[in-house]
Structures are given as C-alpha cells and as structure tokens.
C-alpha cells in the first residue's frame, strides 16, 4: 500500500495545486471584471511547473524538453484539465480575450528571444556552403505537401468548413499548414539533441528558415485573397521585395552597425547589462521592421540573432545570460500555450479521428517525400536526405499560428483547427526519434569529422575563445613587432583590437609619421595576411586607436573593464637590469587581471619587426599553460613554410625527479608531443618534435633555439605569486639569453590586490 501511495503522490499533489489555484483564481476573478494579474501569475506558474517537469521527464527518456512543454499544455488544456474540471479550467484559463492577451504577449516576446538565441548559434559560414541544398530542399519540401494539403481540402466534408462556398481559401490554408516546418521547433529540437553542429543539422535549420519565410509570404497572399476577394499585388510585392531588401541590408550595412552598437554599449554605458539591453532593443526594432513589410516578426528576431552571433565580442556572456531565462520562463509558456489551443476531445468522433489520421499521414508523407526529393536534387546522399526529411517533418508553433489566423478569419472551423494542431504536435513528437535514428545511421564524413573535432577542441581552447584584444604599445620597433603578432592572432577570426598608446607625448610627436609605420598599420597588414591563411577567408579586423591621457596603468585598468580577453604588450624596454621585467612592464600589467602576451623583438625582428617568423619554437611540458603557448604558436605557424618546432622540456618542479637514465619510460612525454602534433595537423601545420626531458628546462630551450635556428620562441608561462610581475626563472633566463624573439603568454593574474 505504501508503494501505491508513493506512486500516486505526484498526481495527488498536482490535483491539489490545480484545485487550490482554481479556487484562488475564482476568488480573484470575482473581484473585478478586468484582466487579473493573479490569474496571469497562476497561468505562468502552472505552465512552468507542468511544462518544465514533463520536459525533465522527456529529457530522461531521450526526448527534447520542448515535447514535455507541449504535452504540459495539452494536459492543462481542454483535452484533459478542461475535460475533467471544466469550471476550474475556465477560471484558471478564462476564454476572455483581454485575459488571454496578457499571457499571449509574454509567449510571443519569448519566442522572439528564442529565435534571437537560435540565430546566435547559426553558423552562416556553414549555411553558405549548403545554401543550394537548403533552397532546393525548402522549395521541394513545400511544394509537395502543399499540393497534397490543397487536394485534401477540396474533398473535405462541408460540415468541417464554416463557409463551404469559400473552399478555395480553406484549401490554401490547409495546404500551407501541411507544408511549412516550424523553424522554432526545428531549431529547439536540433539544438537540444546536440545536432546543431552537424552538416545535416545546419541544413535542416537553414531549410526551416527558408520554409518559414516562404510560408509567411504565402499567408500574405492567402490573407489578401480572403479579405479582399482579389489578389492585392501591391501588398504582396511589398512583402516579397521588402523581405529581400531587409536581408540584403542586414547582411551588409547591418552587420557592421550591430557590431558597433554592441561595442558602443559595452564601452560607454555603465549601467548593468547594458549590452543585453542594446540587443533586446535591436531585436525589437528588426522584428518590427519585418512586421511592417508584411512578414512575421520571427524573421527579424532570427536575423538579429545571426548578426549578434557574428559580432566578435561578448557572445558568450550574452548566450549565458539569455539562455537560462528563455529556457526556464519563455519556452514553457509559449509551447504550453500551443498545447492549450488544442481540444483533443473532438477526436472522440470516429470519423473525425480517422480524418485526423489521414491528415497526419498526408502531411508526413508529403513533407518527408518532398524534403527527401529536395535533398537528392540538392546533392545529398540517400542517408543524408533521409535524416533531413526526418528533421523537416516538425510543424509545431508555425502551424498553430497559421491555424489561428485561419480560425480568426472564419476560414477554418474549431474542429479543423484542433485537427491541424493535433497534426502539428504529433509530427513534432515523431521528429526527434526519427531524426536520432536517421543520424545514428549517418556516418561522419572525413571533412565533417575533422571539423567537429576541431570545434570541440576549440571550445575548450584559449585562442579560439578570444573575442577582443587590447594592445598596449609605445612608438618603438618592439611595439610594431607586438602589433604584428596581435594582428596575426586576430586576423583569422576578425577579432577587434584596441590599440592603446601608453606614451601620449611620443605619439603626438610621431603624428606626422607616415601611417604605414604606425602600430595600427602593422595590426591591419598582419590581420590581412592571417585572414588569407584561413580556409574560410577569415574576417576584417576593426582597429580602435586610443591615446592614454592619464597614466598608462590607469588607462589599461580602465580599458580592462570593457571585457578584453588578452593584453598584448609591446614597449621599448622589456627586460629589467635585475634580470626580470622592466619596471614599466610591471606597471602596465598591474591593472589587467586577464591573460598577458609580452613580446620582445630580437635578431631579425629588431630590424624588420613586421616580418613573419620563419621558424617558430614552442616548449611544452604537459601543463595547461604550456598548451596555451602551443595554441598561440600554432596560429602563428600557419604563415610559416617551415615545420613548427615543438620541444618537450621538464618543468622546474621536475628537477628533483629527472630521469637518471634515458632508458626510463618516456611514454607520457611522447603522448604530449603526439597530442600537440595532432592538434597542429587539424590546421594543416607540419610539426617537428623533440624530447629534452633530461636537461634543465631553460638550458633545453636555449639549446633548441640554437640548434633549430628558430627566430621566434613562444612560451606559455605561469604568473608567480608576488607584488611584481614574475613568470619564473625559466622565462627570465630565456628572455635574457635568447637570440630569437620571445613571446610570453601567461595565465590570469595571481598577484595580491591592493
């Protein structure tokens, strides 16, 4: 008996909560006839509790949480709660338009946020590669089910149509509802199943985006037919050409404007979450523009997300702050309301149940067949086309919106509306297992596997996660050398760089010098060279130049607040008289708590600081910080024809445990070298490795510099606890004795705060 009670306990609590909520809502509703804030809060609380709870259960059994949120809406709607306790249901979810408009507004704004987040995660570079396939798939995937749906509408019984004489409009609506995939549902499912990075996942999302865009243009045409009786060519042309103009402007002028808006908000506004505020305003404006041109607002929100995602700064912070709120509040409310809209009790009629089954079958076969044929025409393999067709079969909220429009216009009956919503929910529920099964049988191609492995590595790496660089320089040749290295790091991904001139007087005296000799020019030229080495062409680097009007340490500390990931220092004097760093270096870095890169030009770089390193050496020891140095060296080595020289050296902590005999096992050291070599190979960089585990690290590095004739050594170093900047004895020895240029890359600050 105890076991049965435990099993029933969640159900008992759920009933108690519903009854208590209904009682309280009823008392609140009796107080006034206007919309109630309490009822709104009760609705949100129930949708979140039931939706997130079922979402958790769905995830435990391998389904995306959005399925649980849709089921939560069904359970709270007329299909169950409203069927069992109709009076209580009408109190919690009153049919009055004013009360319903409150939660509808929250849900609609939430879906814009979801599309914003989805756009931020969309890889346009990959989408461009599959653009032909996505377009072909979209067109074929719409045409086939549209024809099937239109044909079904022509044979529907008159009793299912509110106006049988307007059967043409109803058939057009039905064809549209059966043909359009929901980019919102598709994107959520693909992302939650961790398939967003797969080539097929990107094609599915890209095709769904085109689907949605075409779908809203079709709806505009049907709406014109239904309301005016004739085609309004002007409104249709406005929607079509307005969309094309919106996309063209967004991806040209808009891209740069969005980046500048984000940077301006980050650098100039002192209020909390200023960047999030700017992005929400941007999303709202772009969604409003698409609405004005006759296309749904989700397109504007999605494009805003794409542009924000392409912005090279602060995307990680934006994603982290938005994702939690969207997942916990807006998604269960929106998808719950989609479930609430359906009344499955109408399916008790066997004829309607059979007709709904036929509707689902025609929708699935039509969409699956059309997308499959489109995939084949787009150059995909049979397995890829099968996976794609499986993913495109989710209708979800788009069909609910289309059906709602048809219902409000009097084109569709309430029964037909429920049938379409049922079809949308069931096809959405069928999509994840079908897609998972299809992708499980879809082998990774060599190129895709290498890309995914590289992206997985980059996700954990240092260089690939840099978003913004700060370059502190004077007017020396070493400043040009540091600027050149910073440009090489930034150019591959188009990272913005702020050049801070720490010697204001010297900068003013050099104002008349030719631009070609400035650090800014060194950054730009190096970035262009680096971008050409990238397979995808890299990106343009925007350089911001500032002259320090206050003391240099204060200026750097002020800039550090703006969210820089790396401070690159290039000044005339690097090493101090006592063998450590010059006092000026210590002062400049005192206000920056993040990673540092300190450059020292030697040898050929003293005469030609902007020349690319011919041969690069990187010492590794297996530590995280040495791996950071290896990542930087790999980026710089892309421009060298010579192999990257990687030497394993023991750390200072290993001195007492150095091998007495060369015959002792070197398996771990060799594994470290192989791992670095494999990482470099992902970027088509040749590597020459060498073991010097039995020699003091500083001696081993200096010997290797001499024997390999390297002209640049890149070292990952630890900051040592203390009041002054100290990277340890090995870095000090190499900096002082190396005949090759040196770049020291450190971890974060560990010095005591004053």
Residue 25's pLDDT band, with cuts at 50, 70 and 90, is low
More confident residue, 562 or 252: 252
Read off the pLDDT of residues 560-572 as tens digits, 9 standing for 90 and up.
Answer: 888 788 899 988 8
Q: What is the mean pLDDT of residues 736-742?
A: 90
Which helix (H) or strand (E) segment holds residue 607: the answer is: helix 604-607
- Report the pLDDT value the prediction gives residue 714, as an integer from 0 to 100: 93
Domain boundary among 408, 443, 478: 443
- Report the pLDDT value the prediction gives residue 2, as an integer from 0 to 100: 42
Give the Cα separation of 155 and 148 in Å (integer).
11
pLDDT at position 660 over 50: no
Read off the pLDDT of residues 121-156 as tens digits, 9 standing for 90 and up.
Answer: 666 665 676 677 788 888 888 888 888 888 888 888
Pair 414, 553 in one domain: no
Q: DSSP string spanning 321-377?
A: HHHHHIIIIIHHHHHHHHHHT--GGGGGSHHHHHHHHHHHHHHHHHHHHHHHHHHHH
Residue 186 lies in a domain: yes
Mean pLDDT of the chain: 78
Q: What is the mean pLDDT of residues 326-337?
A: 81
Residue 715's pLDDT band, with cuts at 50, 70 and 90, is very high
Range of the domain at 624: 612-655+664-754
Domain boundary among 443, 474, 497: 443
Q: What is the chain's length? A: 754
pLDDT at position 614 over 80: yes
- Report the pLDDT value the prediction gives residue 656, as an integer from 0 to 100: 43
Pair 498, 398 in one domain: no
- Report the pLDDT value the prediction gives residue 506, as an integer from 0 to 100: 53
CATH code assigned at 726: 3.40.50.620
Residue 315 lies in a domain: yes
Pair 316, 421 in one domain: yes
Pair 472, 497 in one domain: yes
Pair 414, 461 in one domain: no
Residue 89 lies in a domain: no
Compute CA distances 487 → 494, 527, 543, 609, 625, whole Å.
9, 4, 10, 13, 22
Phi and psi for 742 in degrees, rounded to 5? -130, 140
Pair 439, 460 in one domain: no
Read off the pLDDT of residues 435-471 as tens digits, 9 standing for 90 and up.
Answer: 777 877 777 777 777 777 777 766 677 887 788 888 9
Residue 378 lies in a domain: yes
pLDDT at position 539 over 80: no
Domain boundary among 573, 604, 634: 573
Compute CA distances 76 → 73, 92, 338, whole Å.
5, 10, 11
Lowest mean pLDDT among 241-255, 324-338, 498-512, 566-580: 498-512
Residue 53 lies in a domain: no
- Report the pLDDT value the prediction gives residue 34, as an integer from 0 to 100: 65
Residue 8's pLDDT band, with cuts at 50, 70 and 90, is very low
More confident residue, 212 or 539: 212
Residue 542 lies in a domain: yes
Angle between helices 397-408 and 199-228 (to 10 degrees): 0
Give the Cα separation of 545 and 482 in Å (integer).
15
Pair 560, 695 in one domain: no
CATH code assigned at 329: 1.20.1530.20
Residue 32 lies in a domain: no
- Report the pLDDT value the prediction gives residue 617, as an integer from 0 to 100: 92
Residue 752's pLDDT band, with cuts at 50, 70 and 90, is very low
More confident residue, 609 or 61: 609
**Does the predicted TM-score (pTM) go above 0.75?**
no
- Report the pLDDT value the prediction gives residue 655, as an integer from 0 to 100: 46
Q: What is the mean pLDDT of residues 182-204?
A: 74
- Report the pLDDT value the prediction gives residue 658, as an integer from 0 to 100: 44
pLDDT at position 719 over 80: yes
Phi and psi for 744 in degrees, rounded to 5? -100, 125
pLDDT > 90: percent of the chain: 4
Pair 180, 261 in one domain: yes
pLDDT at position 603 over 70: yes
Three-state secondary structure of 423-473 = HHHHHHHHHHHHHHHHHHCCCCCHHHHHHHHHHHHHHHCCHHHCCCEEEEE
Pair 554, 500 in one domain: yes
- The count of domains in the chain is 3
Pair 416, 279 in one domain: yes
Pair 415, 285 in one domain: yes
Q: Quote the tokens at residue 288.
A: 């409003």
Q: Quote the tokens at residue 226.
A: 């239904």
Residue 471 lies in a domain: yes
Pair 375, 469 in one domain: no
């Amino acid at each position: 008996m105890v076991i049965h009670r435990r099993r029933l306990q969640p159900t008992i609590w759920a009933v108690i909560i519903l009854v208590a909520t209904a009682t309280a809502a009823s008392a609140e509703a009796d107080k006034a006839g206007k919309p109630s804030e309490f009822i709104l809060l009760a609705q949100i609380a129930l949708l979140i509790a039931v939706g997130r709870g079922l979402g958790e259960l769905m995830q435990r059994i391998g389904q995306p949480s959005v399925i649980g949120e849709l089921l939560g809406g069904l359970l709270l709607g007329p299909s169950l709660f409203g069927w069992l306790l109709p009076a209580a249901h009408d109190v919690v979810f009153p049919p009055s338009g004013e009360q319903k408009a409150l939660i509808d507004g929250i849900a609609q704004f939430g879906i814009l946020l979801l599309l914003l987040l989805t756009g931020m995660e969309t890889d346009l570079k990959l989408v461009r590669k599959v653009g032909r396939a996505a377009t072909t798939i979209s067109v074929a995937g719409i045409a086939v089910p549209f024809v099937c749906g239109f044909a079904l509408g022509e044979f529907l019984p008159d009793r299912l149509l509110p106006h049988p004489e307007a059967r043409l409009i109803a058939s057009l609506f039905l064809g549209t509802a059966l043909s359009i995939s929901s980019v919102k549902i598709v994107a959520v499912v693909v992302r939650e199943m961790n398939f967003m990075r797969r080539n097929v996942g990107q094609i599915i999302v890209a095709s769904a985006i085109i689907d949605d865009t075409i779908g809203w243009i079709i709806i505009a045409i049907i709406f014109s037919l239904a309301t005016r009786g004739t085609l309004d060519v002007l409104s249709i042309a406005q929607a079509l050409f307005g969309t094309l103009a919106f996309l063209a402007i967004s991806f040209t002028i808009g891209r740069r404007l969005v980046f500048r808006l984000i940077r301006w908000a980050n650098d100039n506004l002192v209020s909390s979450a200023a960047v999030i505020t700017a992005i929400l305003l941007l999303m709202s404006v772009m969604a409003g523009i698409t609405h004005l041109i006759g296309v749904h607002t989700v397109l504007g929100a999605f494009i805003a997300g794409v542009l924000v995602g392409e912005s090279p700064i602060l995307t990680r912070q934006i994603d982290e702050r938005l994702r939690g709120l969207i997942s916990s509040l807006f998604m269960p409310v929106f998808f719950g309301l989609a479930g609430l809209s359906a009344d499955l009790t109408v399916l008790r009629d066997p004829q309607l149940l059979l007709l709904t089954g036929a509707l689902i079958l025609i929708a699935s076969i039509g969409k699956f067949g059309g997308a499959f044929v489109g995939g084949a025409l787009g150059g995909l393999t049979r397995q890829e086309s099968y996976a794609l067709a499986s993913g495109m079969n989710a209708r979800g909220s788009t069909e609910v919106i289309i059906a709602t429009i048809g219902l409000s216009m009097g084109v569709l009956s309430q029964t037909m509306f429920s049938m379409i919503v049922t079809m949308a929910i069931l096809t959405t529920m069928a999509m994840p297992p079908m897609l998972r099964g299809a992708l499980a049988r879809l082998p990774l191609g060599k190129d895709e596997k290498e890309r995914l492995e590289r992206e997985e590595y980059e996700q954990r790496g240092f260089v690939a996660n840099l978003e913004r660089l700060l370059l502190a320089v004077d007017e020396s040749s070493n400043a040009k050398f540091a600027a050149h290295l910073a440009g090489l790091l930034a150019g591959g991904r188009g990272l913005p760089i702020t050049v801070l001139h720490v010697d204001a007087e010297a900068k003013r005296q050099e104002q008349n010098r030719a631009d070609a000799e400035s650090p800014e020019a060194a950054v730009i030229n190096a970035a262009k060279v680096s971008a050409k080495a990238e397979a995808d062409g890299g990106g343009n680097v925007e350089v911001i130049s500032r002259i320090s009007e206050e003391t240099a340490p204060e200026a750097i500390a002020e800039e550090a607040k703006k969210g820089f990931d790396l401070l690159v220092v290039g000044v005339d004097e690097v090493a101090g008289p006592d063998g450590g760093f010059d006092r000026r270096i210590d002062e400049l870095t005192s206000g920056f708590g993040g990673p540092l890169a300190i450059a020292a030009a030697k040898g050929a770089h003293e005469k030609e600081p902007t020349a690319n390193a011919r041969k690069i050496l990187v010492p590794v020891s297996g530590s995280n910080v040495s791996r950071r140095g290896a990542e930087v060296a790999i980026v710089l080595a892309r421009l060298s024809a010579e192999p990257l020289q990687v030497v394993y050296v023991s750390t200072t902590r290993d001195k007492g445990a150095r091998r007495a005999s060369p015959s002792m096992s070197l398996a771990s050291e060799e594994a470290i070298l192989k791992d670095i070599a494999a990482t470099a190979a992902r970027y088509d960089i040749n590597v020459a490795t060498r073991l010097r585990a039995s020699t003091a690290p500083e001696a081993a590095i200096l010997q290797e510099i001499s024997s390999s004739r390297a002209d640049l050594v890149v070292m990952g170093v630890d900051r040592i606890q203390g009041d002054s900047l100290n990277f340890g004895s090995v870095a000090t020895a190499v900096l002082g004795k190396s005949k090759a240029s040196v770049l020291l890359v450190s971890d974060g600050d560990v010095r005591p705060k004053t």
